[in-house]
Structure 1
Amino acid sequence: MPAPGPCGWVGRMRKILTSASVIAVIAVAGFPGASADPGATSMEARTLDGSGNDPGHPGWGEAGTLYLRVTTPNYADGVSRMVAGPSPRYISNRVFNDVGQNLFSENDVSQWGWVWGQFVDHDIGLRDETPAESAPIPFDPHDPLEAFANDLGAMGFARTPAATGTGVTSPRQQTNTVSGYLDGSAVYGIDSTRLEWLREGPVDGDLTNNAAPLLLPGGYLPRADARGNPVTAPSMDLFGGLAGTPQAARIAGDVRANENVALLAVQTLFAR
C-alpha cells in the first residue's frame, strides 16, 4: 500500500491537532462565560472538580458524584451481589482474540488512536477504589496467560465499592472520583493541593503566588522527589518497577499517568 502523500499527512495532523486543541483550550481558558449580553467575550474560570460548570445543574459532572447508567443495574439479588456467568477472562480472551487476526487498522488509524482515547478516558472517569472488595478471577488451564503465571492460582481483582447509601436496600451504584467533564483535569488535577505542587513556585497553600506554567524540569513531568521529600508529593498509582522506586514516579494531574510510556508522553505534551 503506497504511503500517504503530503496532503494526506497534513489532513491527518489537522484532525489530531483539532482534537488536541479542543481539550487544550478548555483546560487553559475554560468555555466562554455565560452572560446576559450576547456580545460579551469575557472568559469564566472553571472549578477544578467540575462543580458549577452547568449553572442549571451545578452538581452535574462534579468529582465524587455517581456514574450515570445507560440501563438499569443487574445484580443477582437485585441490589449488590454479582451475577453468575462465564469467567471475565473467558469473555476477555474472546472479545479481544488476536490469534491469527489482522492487527492493523482497516481505517489506517495509528497507535495514536488508543493512546488519545486512554488520555481522554482518564480525564473524565476514575472509579473509587477504597475500600476495595476482593473478587479474584480464577485461572483457567486454557487461558494463554496461564503459561506465564501458573503459580498464582488467581488474578487479583478489586471490585469497585458501593457508593454511600447504595447496595443494601437499593441497587449498588459507583462513584466517579474525578470531574466528568472534558476539562483538562488529567493535566491539572481536581484539587488545589495537587495543582499547587504541579505549578512553578512555592508550595505554601497559596495558589496566588504560583506561576501559571507547570513545573517541567528539563521539559519533562517532575519526579516525585522534584521538590525534595517524595513523601510530600501528590499520590500516583505505581506500576511495575515504580512500586519499588516511588521517588522516580512522574507526577501529573491524573494518578494513572505512569501506566505506560505512551500515556506518559501525552501527559507530558499537555503539561508543556
Structure 2
Amino acid sequence: MLLGCHNADGVASEKEEQMMGRMTRPCNAAVPRRESSQKAGQTSGGMKRSRSCGLHVFQLKGTANDLEEYRTSTRNREPSSKLSYQTNSDSCIDSSTLDCSHTDFKYRTIDGSCNNPFYPSSGMANTAYQRLLAPNYADEIHSMPVSRSRNPLPSARLLSYKVFGRDTIPDPHFTLLNMQWGQLIAHDTSLHLENGVPGLKPLEEKLQICCNTSGRYEKRMSALICRPIPVPKDDPYLKGKECIDFGRSVTDKDFNCPRTKHPTHAEQLNGNTHYLDLSFVYGSSGELSYALRLFDKGLLRTNDFRRKWPPRPENPESQCPLGRSGGICYEFGDIRGNQNPGLTVLQIVFLREHNRLARELRKLNSHWDDETLFQEARRINIAQFQYISYYEWSLVFFGNERMRRYDLIFNTHNGEYVNDYDPHVQLRSIQSFQHAAFRYFHDQIVGLLQ
C-alpha cells in the first residue's frame, strides 16, 4: 500500500490510474490547497472518486520498477509549493533508511513517517522546521543575531514590558478557551527538544553561564546553549531578578546531521510530528505510544478512579517540574500536558473521547481486535480535532469568507467532499509561524486563574 494522491492538476495520469486502486479521504482536509466542489464520484477531468471518508490510500498494482518509474516522472514536475527557503533535506532523518513497505496506510504512523511516498520522512518527529526566509544568524550559521552596527540587540524582556506592558483588557466576546485551543495546536505540531534527539547520541553537557529559578546568573552544566535574557534594573514587574533562563533549541548542527556536512546554517528540530494528529494524546514515538496504551479493547490507559483520569507518571518530576510536591500529575502524550489547568482539561477530554469511541466501536464491531479498535478510534478522534480546528476555531480569527477565499475550508453538500492532497508538498511546520505569528495567543493568557 502506498500513500499519495492525484497530480498537481487534480486529475490522475494514465500511469497513476494504472497504479491506483481505491482512494479514500477524510471529509475534513487538514491542509487544503485547492477547491474542488464537484459532486462525489466525479471530477472535472472525469476521474471517479470514492464517496467514502477515510484516509488517502493507493493500492499498488504495479511492480517495484513501475513504482520507481512513477516516482521519477513525478519528481520532474514543477513543485506545487515554493514556500520553503530550506532544502528538501529533513536534516537528521535519512529517508533511504525508512522502510514503508510494511506500513498499513489506512492509519497514520505514530511518528509521522511514511505519510508521503516521495518524502517518507516529511513531517516526522525530530525533523527540521522549514523557513519562508533565510535566517538572520550573526555568523550566518547559528550565532545569535545582532544589530546592523554589530552591537548586541536590546533585551527581549526590555522590549516586552516597554512595548506591551501588563494591562489587562478582557475580551468582550471570547473566553480563555479560545487561547487554550491554540495552545493545543501548538503542542500538537511543535516541541522544543531539550535533551537531544531520541536514538542519537546525547548532547555533551558543558559548563555555562545560565540563569537559575531565582532569577540569578549561575554557572552550571547544560547540554543546551544557555543564553539567559537580561532583566533591566528598573523592571517594574521582575524586581530583584537579574535574568530569565533561556536555552537555545537543539539543531541539526548539534548532531552533525547529513545536511550539515556542507557549509550551511543550522536548523532547529521539532520533537513532535508536524501534523495535526493528536500527538499530545498518542505521543510522537512508538515507545511513548505503547506506554500510554492499555492493549485491551483499543483503550488508552487510565487510573482506577472510575477509569476517567489519565495515568500517573512513574517520574512525576519529569512531567510536572512546576508542580508542588505531592500534587496531582498526569502522564500524557506530550510532556507539557500539566502546564496549566485549561490545557490539562482539554487533554483529558481527548483521552476520554478516544476511550468512548473505542467502546462504541466495539459494540458495533465485536469481532475487531485491540489494534483495530485503537486505530479506528484514533482515526476518528484525529478527524474531529482537525474539523474543530479548521471549521470552528479558525473561523473566530479569520472569518468564514476569508477561510473559504484561501481554500482553508470548503462548501460541500449532499455527499460532496474535497480531495486536494498534493504529494509534492513537503509538510513541515514553518519557523516564523510556530515561533512568532502563532505566539499571538500569548497576549490572551490570563495572568491569574481563580
Aligned match of 1:156 = 245
Distance change (3 Å), C-alpha of 1:143 and 1:79: same
For residues 154-182 of structure 1, the C-alpha deviation after alignment (integer angstroms, 9 at most, x for no partner) is 21111113323349942121001110000
SS at match of 1:133: coil
Distance change (3 Å), C-alpha of 1:156 and 1:173: same
Aligned match of 2:323 = 241
Unpaired runs of at least 5, structure 2:
1-26, 30-52, 61-103, 146-151, 196-222, 353-450
Aligned match of 2:233 = 141
Distance change (3 Å), C-alpha of 1:93 and 1:54: farther
The aligned amino acid for 2:283 is G
Given that residues 199 and 211 in structure 1 are in contact (C-alpha distance below 8 angstroms), is that contact kept between their aligned partners in structure 2?
no
- Of 115-124 and 159-168, more deviation after overlay is shown by 159-168
Aligned match of 2:265 = 171
2: CA distance, partners of 1:95 / 1:50: 39
The aligned amino acid for 2:225 is E
Distance change (3 Å), C-alpha of 1:82 and 1:222: same
Aligned match of 1:252 = 332
2: CA distance, partners of 1:85 / 1:71: 20
| TM superposition shift of 1:44 | 0.5
Distance change (3 Å), C-alpha of 1:114 and 1:32: same
Cα root mean square deviation, aligned: 2.9
Given that residues 189 and 253 in structure 1 are in contact (C-alpha distance below 8 angstroms), is that contact kept between their aligned partners in structure 2?
yes
Unpaired runs of at least 5, structure 1:
1-20, 24-29, 202-209, 225-229
Aligned match of 1:120 = 185
- Of 85, 91, 94, 2:153 maps to 85
Distance change (3 Å), C-alpha of 1:160 and 1:167: farther
2: CA distance, partners of 1:211 / 1:95: 54
User: How many percent identity over aligned positions?
Assistant: 29
The aligned amino acid for 1:92 is S
Aligned match of 2:309 = 220
- Of 76-85 and 118-127, more deviation after overlay is shown by 76-85
2: CA distance, partners of 1:43 / 1:169: 37
TM-score (norm 1): 0.71
- Relative contact order, higher structure (CA 8 A, sep 6+): 2
2: CA distance, partners of 1:161 / 1:196: 26
TM-score (norm 2): 0.44
2: CA distance, partners of 1:133 / 1:160: 8
1: CA distance, partners of 2:184 / 2:28: 14
| TM superposition shift of 1:92 | 2.4
Given that residues 80 and 167 in structure 1 are in contact (C-alpha distance below 8 angstroms), is that contact kept between their aligned partners in structure 2?
no
Aligned match of 2:282 = 188
SS at match of 2:139: coil
Aligned match of 2:58 = 35
